[in-house]
Amino acid sequence: MVDRLVKTLGALARDRQALQRKEQQLAHRQRQLIKDLSTMLHGIGYTLRPSGNGQGSSGSAGEALRIPGRKVIKCPKCDRRFAHRLPLARHLSASHGMKKTSSAQKGAQARRTKRKAARARS
């Protein structure tokens, strides 16, 4: 019975060490992923900042925050600036009433123009 208890404790100790190694590997992988994510977000104008005390998840853990002063796209109709094209397009359609025609509409319009020109020649 003592031998069985010793073997069980030995197996338990080995399992515990294996779990600790796995925990270290996962922690290293997590740090690497966060580092890569931070690098990628920095390239598009965002930054990662730690939140909470680092002992667990908080309400806004891993939240991407905007770096101020990176708005470089200027509205052609007013003085507003935007960091990305999508908000500029929304602003243009909402504030200035400009709607861009889609490529399908442009293609259909080009076909109509060609047909009219062909009819005029006939």
How far is the C-alpha of 27 from the C-alpha of 21, rounded, in Å?
A: 10
**For the whole model, what pTM was predicted?**
0.40
pLDDT, position 115: 84
The radius of gyration of the chain's CA atoms, rounded to the nearest angstrom, is 30
Query: 45-57: b or e for each residue (b if 16 or more CB lie within 10 Å)?
Result: bbebeeeeeeeee
Mean pLDDT within 50-75: 66
pLDDT, position 44: 85
Mean pLDDT within 78-91: 90
Domain boundaries, the chain: 1-67, 68-100
